């Protein structure tokens, strides 16, 4: 295995909360329907939106890609709780070569992504 890129991102939860409250199109431009359903089902939904946003940014950094829409990157949780990156569009085939790690608390969300080749 060879690491081709890494990325990390941290964001304040209140920043995501403010953007969601003030920008009606933000959710649909950034998050998939599955991500929105997942986050809306959580008691602290803004922490979950924030950590997914951080993961998308970390993945972009790991790929070194520009001009990719955040909506083309989705984060889902496997049955065991492990997060998994799901990519669509021109990134579709890269999803299997990215691992992500997520963490959040009341005030901050952080994510790390590693892009590798087999």
Catalytic residues: 61, 104
For the chain, where are the E strands, in sequence order? 2-12, 73-77, 83-87, 98-104, 108-117
């Amino acid at each position: 295995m060879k690491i081709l890129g890494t990325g990390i991102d941290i964001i304040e939860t209140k920043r995501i909360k403010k953007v969601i409250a003030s920008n009606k199109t933000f959710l649909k431009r950034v998050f998939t329907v599955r991500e929105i359903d997942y986050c809306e089902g959580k008691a602290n939904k803004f922490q979950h939106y924030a950590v997914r946003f951080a993961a998308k940014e970390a993945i972009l950094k790991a790929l070194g890609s520009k001009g990719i829409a955040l909506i083309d990157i989705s984060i889902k949780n496997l049955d065991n709780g492990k997060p998994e990156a799901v990519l669509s569009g021109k990134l579709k085939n890269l999803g299997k070569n990215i691992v992500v790690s997520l963490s959040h608390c009341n005030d901050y969300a952080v994510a790390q992504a590693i892009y590798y080749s087999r």
